[in-house]
Amino acid sequence: FVLEPISDQAVDELITLWIITSLKKTTIFFDSVYRNLPSLILANPTVESVGPGLGFFLKLVLPFYILGILLTALYLLFLSGSPAGRSMAKGNLLKLIYSLILLSLSPSLLELLFFLSSSVTSYVMSVVDIEIALGILERATDGFYAMIVTLFGIWVKAEGAGGFFAASFSLTYYILYILIIGRFVFVTLFAMLLPLSMFLYSFYSTRVVGRTLFRQLLILTFIQVTWGIALVAIAIGVPSLYTYKLIP
């Protein structure tokens, strides 16, 4: 039994077939993503899902809160001599007490935050028929796929350029999916870190870290509003380009 050598043409055809098949499967996958895009954008973690992590950090920082309040109170009673020192100690004590109160309300605060973000996003996406934007995105995917398949006939032998286009296509749409899923994961993470954020913000030396953690939670939560606005812009803007014949 003798193996016949594989010609360069057969290798090129095999590579082309593999890339086109991969592209088609990617297209089918992202068509399903587009159909569920509003639900994916609106998805927020539930308070129940972040509960274990939230509880862990609550138990972690609570002893430090109690210790901080006791030490500050002792300083006020026995060690503070200057008015400036007493004033600063009183301010720190009040901040710790206020922060501790907010800490006990962490689940309710998160629930309110997620509700506001999803409600605003839902309202934004209800301004237009969002199916228009989804249809445009699906047609763009199909058109991009057809264009790349056409290019294979010209570029597949040009130093693997066809593979470059295929990788670019897949990477572009996987980035979209990764951004949506990544946002959900990081919102969950920073929601769990909320008690730690509040604790760090209560002290001057660590306030920047606490503020940064809380700011990231706000940005990642409300970025879904930006995505909703983007869909509305697509639904309104692209048909307008055809209406005014800016796109042939």
Per-residue pLDDT tens digits for 131-149 = 888 777 777 666 666 666 5
For residue 117, pLDDT over 60 is answered with: yes
Question: With DSSP H G I counted as helix, E B as strand and the rest as coil, what are the percentages for the chain, rounded to 5?
Answer: 85, 0, 15
Mean per-residue pLDDT, 80-104: 80
Q: What is the DSSP letter of 204?
A: G
- Return d(Cα 206, Cα 134) in angstroms, integer: 44
Q: How far apart are CA 93 and CA 76, in angstroms?
A: 9
Flag the least confident range among 59-63, 86-90, 127-131. 86-90
Q: Are 144 and 170 in contact (CB under 8 A)?
A: no
DSSP 43: -
What is the rounded CA–CA span in Å between residue 175 and residue 179?
Answer: 6
Of 52 and 87, the one with more pLDDT: 52
Q: What is the mean pLDDT of residues 193-217?
A: 91
The mean pLDDT value for 94-118 works out to: 91
> Which position has the token pair 């296509």?
169
| pLDDT given at position 183 | 93
Radius of gyration (Cα) for the chain, nearest Å?
27
Give the residue carrying structure tokens 């501790």. 100
| Confidence tier at 160 by pLDDT (50, 70, 90) | very low
Distance, C-alpha 15 to centroid of its chain: 35
Contacts of 226 (CB under 8 A, 6+ apart): none
Cβ within 8 Å of residue 93, ≥6 positions away: 69, 72, 73, 76
> Under a CB-based contact definition with an 8 Å cutoff, are residues 221 and 109 in contact?
no
Percent of the chain at pLDDT > 70 equals 67
Residue 159 confidence (pLDDT):
45
pLDDT at residue 161 above 50? no
